[in-house]
Amino acid sequence: MASWIRLAWLIAAKDLRVELRSKTALLSSLVFAALVLVVFNFARDASLVSSTVLAPSVLWITIAFAAVIALNRAFNLERENASMSGLLLAPISRGVIYVGKFLANLAFVAAVELVTLPLFVLFFNVDIWDSLGGLLGVMALASIGFVAVGTIFSAMVVKTRFAELMLPVLLLPFMVPPLIGAVQVTTRLLSGRPLSEMLGWLRLLAVYDVVFVTLCVMVFPALVDE
Amino acid sequence: MNSELASARRIIRLGFALTAIALIAVAGVYVRALMYTPIEVRQGAAQKIFYVHAPAAWAALMAFSVVGIVSALYLWLKDPRLDLFAASSAEVGLAFSVVMLTTGPIWGKPVWGTWWTWDARLTLTLMIFLLFLGYLTLRAALSDPSERARFSAVVGILGLVLVPFIHLSVYLFRTLHPAPILLKPSKPSLPDSMLATLLYALATFTLLYIGFVTTRYGLARAVAAQSGREGTDA
Amino acid sequence: MPSTPDNAGYMIAAYVITVVVYVGYTISLWRRARLLLRSEDD
């Protein structure tokens, strides 16, 4: 049991090391996140719309877009290095390869989120200390959901000519349930609502994650094997 | 190879025959809905859009389910004809989605005062449309037939599993649509003549779906038969 | 008793769009079939 986890980590670590050397995916997402936050800050009229109402949506729009950028770049790196074919020759279960890719992408997206959060606190003047644990939790739950599907799709679109365009088109419907749930939970967290009001949404996010990670592990072999 | 093309021709002919019958039936629905079904007092004539919108939505959802289920069968059985059938259902589903997405707002504006609401059903119709579009665009962007079949099958399956989640999340969020009027345990809230028109429309559009898919599938088989003979990709 | 709203225009628009899409799609299928099968008979 432990050996496949180790294998997945190895695969993930390799991807992360490659990315850390070039840093392009991470940097583009971060710049994008900062840009979106700045624009939103100037776009709203502070007297009309309070930041507590707007903030959760802005946070999650930023995360969503930055995640798509990160996902796109991650697999382009793959194509440029053609390392997937090497991986496939090794006697590793396809599911393990998927989990490795998924973990690497999750790490990218998590890095983007962890930098977006302080920027968000800074620009929107929101107090997140009391709800920090919950915020990190819902960020993890939602991210797992769309990174799972995003990993599958980025593996597909990398074979097409319009990869950067195709990924958002395919992924958008799949981001809807995690995003709705995430915004709902974030709103309640920031307003200090009790946990009972969020349980339904958290359950939805959790079920979504379990279902789609399982499904993606099952269909990944169809992507790479004839 | 010749017999393959002959089969395809037969399927196309059958498809067109069914489509023709269905289109005539649609004309019948139009006559019945427009002339022989009473106007709903509070909503006015626009309520009758329901008789073309709801069956289109039903057909689109049916087409979508077929894509998902047949995609799963394809990945399991590897028969390329299953892939062709799934793709056909997707294209037909797109056509029904277009009707669904246009008639929905046209119905919404006079009856609820707004072109669009992000409620459970309308959002689902938009998502299904986007999923069909994504599925077909992906197919168009992949030139290797095996890749095309496998990749779109994955999209089909993932998409089908997604539908209940979208419905649930948006429904939890809010609902503006009227409560389902056919699924009440006692008597449906529609008066009998309207119910009859609706059921007639549902049956007709189902037949139209079958006609369209059969024809499209026959076409796909014919293309495959041709490219097989010439040894090139269609 | 409020009067029944006069919104038949919307109804006509919807019914027209519907039939245009279905007939249009049928024609598309027909033309593609003709193109494909005619080239076969050459």
DSSP A119-132: HHHHHHT---TTTH
Cβ–Cβ of B173/A173 closer than 8 Å?
Answer: no
Query: Greater confidence, A111 or B229?
Result: A111
Number of domains in chain A: 1
Interface of B with C (CB under 8 A): 5, 9, 12, 15-16, 19, 23, 26, 30, 34, 39, 41-46, 48-49, 52-53, 56, 92, 95, 98-99, 102-103, 106-107, 109-111, 208, 212, 215-216, 218-219, 222-223, 226
pLDDT of residue A71: 83
Taking CB atoms and an 8 Å limit, are C17 and B43 in contact across chains? no
In a 3-state reduction of DSSP, which class is residue A93? coil
Name chain B's partners: 3 or more CB pairs within 8 A. A, C
Mean pLDDT check: name the lowest of B99-103, B113-117, C1-5: C1-5
Examine the pLDDT at A34 and tell me if it is beyond 90.
no
Q: Do B19 and C29 touch (CB under 8 A)?
A: yes
Nearest-CA residue of chain B relative to A224? Answer: B147
- B229: pLDDT confidence band, cut at 50, 70 and 90? low
Chains touching A (at least 3 CB pairs under 8 A) are B
Check A170 against B138: CB less than 8 A apart: yes
Cβ separation B45–C8 shorter than 8 A: yes
Residue A84 to residue A220: CA distance in whole angstroms: 13
Handedness of CA B85, B86, B89, B91 (dihedral sign): negative
Q: Please state the pTM of the whole predicted model.
A: 0.88
Q: Would you state the pLDDT for residue B179? A: 42
CA nearest to A170 within chain B: B134
**Residue B144: closest CA among A221, A160, A152:** A160
CA atoms within 13 A on the CB side of B33: 29
Choose, out of B74, B135, B165, B166, the residue to mutate when testing the contact with A (most A CBs < 10 Å). Answer: B165
Per-residue CA distances from A193 to A164, B170, B174 (Å): 39, 21, 19
Q: Per residue in B39-94, pLDDT tens?
A: 777 777 778 888 899 999 999 999 999 999 999 999 999 999 999 999 999 999 99
Taking the C-alpha atoms of residue B36 and residue B196, their distance in angstroms, rounded to an integer, is: 11
Cα B77 to Cα B100: distance, rounded to the nearest angstrom: 33
CA-CA-CA-CA torsion sign (A76, A77, A83, A87): negative
pLDDT score recorded for residue B183: 36
Task: Give the SS3 label for residue A225.
Answer: coil
pLDDT tens per residue, range A84-131? 777 777 777 888 889 988 998 898 889 888 888 888 888 777 877 888
Residues with Cβ within 8 Å of residue A89, at least 6 apart in sequence: none
pLDDT surpassing 50 at residue B175:
no
Q: How far, in Å, CA of B126 to CA of B112, rounded?
A: 18
Residue partners of B91: CB distance under 8 A and separation at least 6 = B136, B216
Buried b (16+ CB within 10 A) or exposed e, B102-113: bbbbbbbebbee
What is the predicted pLDDT for the residue at C41? Answer: 62
Least confident among A194-198, A201-205, B44-48, B73-77: B44-48
Reduced to 3 states, what is the DSSP secondary structure of residue A98? helix
N-to-C CA span, chain B: 15
pLDDT at B184: 33
Q: What is the mean pLDDT of residues A30-50?
A: 75
Kindly state the greatest CA–CA separation across chain C: 70
Of B134, B157, B166, the CB nearest to A176: B166
Torsion angle in degrees (nearest 10) through CA of B170, B176, B181, B183: 20
**pLDDT range class, residue A41, cuts 50, 70, 90:** confident
The string of DSSP codes covering chain B is -HHHHHHHHHHHHHHHHHHHHHHHHHHHHHHIIIIISPPBTTTBGGGGGHHHHHHHHHHHHHHHHHHHHHHHHHHHH--HHHHHHHHHHHHHHHHHHHHHHHHHHHHHHHHHS-S----HHHHHHHHHHHHHHHHHHHHHH--SHHHHHHHHHHHHHHHHHHHHHHHHHHHHH---SPPPSS--SS--SS-HHHHHHHHHHHHHHHHHHHHHHHHHHHHHHHHHHHHHHHTS--
Residue range of the domain that includes A214: 2-224
Nearest to B95 among C14, C25, C30 (CB): C25
Q: What is the pLDDT, as a whole number, of residue A79?
A: 64
Spatial CA neighbour of B83 closest among B155, B25, B160: B155
**How far is Cα of residue B201 from the mean position of the Cα atoms in its chain?**
14
